[in-house]
Amino acid sequence: MNTSNNGQTENSHTDNKFIMLPTVDICFKSLMNNPKVRKGFIAALLNVDPGTIAETTLLPTALRQDYPDDKLGILDVRTALKDGRQFDMEMQVAYFANWDARVLFYLCKIFTDQLKNGEPYENLKKCIHVSILDFIYFKNDEECYRTICFCDEKTGKKYTDLMEIQILELRKLPNELKNDSSILNWMRFLGGKTRREFEAMAKKDKYIDEAYKELEKLSADEQAKLEYEAREKAIRDYNSQMNSALKRGMEEGFSQGEKQGKAELIRTMHQNGAEPELIARLTGLSLSEIQQIL
């Protein structure tokens, strides 16, 4: 899934020559179709040398439905390593209210999809969900990359290594990277908005360089460009509809003239991912007034 209100079309044309943005989901999927790019990114997620990864295989992204009324799950990218471990990668650039539930749903689906009837639990392999977010999900800290697993609340001891969630919050990346860890370099590349940014990251890692070459190739492909621009238009239309609905709701709520109602509405907007600056713009209140309410 992919929705954004950060002016992607304008940013993608910042440099003279058109370049796609990896945060647009169809672009990200296309990049991950390249085995070398996929290998380099997965190695960064695992914090291992890419040379230790023998093979990666793309798997179907539509998850199995055991019953006709089961919810259909469709992933952005699903891949398996030679040892059976699986990755589910999702690019999301607008706040998603139930993202935590969505992540667990997909992670559990790919985990249970491994076994056929009668197969032993010993056949289960580790499954890792990777959320690449172009919005801030964890608002109370500055960590841009985290790994989440099942742990005992009292002892902190890991319960199992079979399921894991990795969350990459691109908006939290510092302007200047203090270290050149592979995963931070990949995050900088994936969150890039200009050709200059992509080139800078490509110089740091041969696998990111491959991703940049693939990005240039995609950007020069007329059919791929049409699909990309159609996706961007769908994203803009979606955001326009959402903003219009939000503004109508604001106007209806404010017409009641109740200060308490306004404050509750502002807090709800913030809890649903709206930044204070956006709330101020939609409500007509000053940023300091919004911050006082929050």
Cα dihedral across residues 219, 27, 32, 58: positive or negative: negative
**Confidence check: pLDDT of 257 > 60:** no
> What pLDDT is attached to residue 212?
98
pLDDT level of residue 122 (50, 70, 90 thresholds): very high
In this prediction, residue 255 carries a pLDDT of 56
**Per-residue model confidence (pLDDT) at position 252:** 62
What DSSP string runs through the chain? -----S-HHHHHTSSSS----TTSHHHHHHHHTSHHHHHHHHHHHHTS-GGG---EEE--SBPP-SSTTSPP-B-SEEEEETTS-EEEEEEE-S--TTHHHHHHHHHHHHHHTTPPTT--GGG---EEEEEEESS-S-TT---SEEEEE-B-TTT--BS-SSEEEEEEEGGG--SS-SS--HHHHHHHHHT--SHHHHHHHHTT-HHHHHHHHHHHHHHH-HHHHHHHHHHHHHHHHHHHHHHHHHHHHHHHHHTT--HHHHHHHHHHHHHTT--HHHHHHHH---HHHHHHH-
Token code pair at residue 133: 């977010």
In this prediction, residues 58-62 reach a mean pLDDT of: 81
pLDDT, residue 216, reads: 96
Q: What is the pTM of this model?
A: 0.76
pLDDT band at 25 (very low <50, low <70, confident <90, very high): confident
* pLDDT mean over 212-216: 97
Give the residue with greater pLDDT, 192 vs 265: 192
Window from 119-133, 155-169, 173-187 with minimum mean pLDDT = 173-187
Average pLDDT over residues 216-241: 83
Taking the C-alpha atoms of residue 213 and residue 210, their distance in angstroms, rounded to an integer, is 5
131 close to 90: Cβ distance less than 8 angstroms: yes
pLDDT tens, residue by residue, 64-113? 555 444 444 456 899 999 999 999 999 987 777 788 999 999 999 999 99
Domain ranges of the chain: 8-220, 233-293
The pLDDT tens digits of the residues spanning 164-190 come to: 999 999 999 988 877 779 999 999 999
Average pLDDT of span 141-168: 96
More confident residue, 216 or 99: 216
DSSP string, 178-201: SS--HHHHHHHHHT--SHHHHHHH
Q: Which of 89-98, 129-138, 247-256 has the lowest mean pLDDT?
A: 247-256
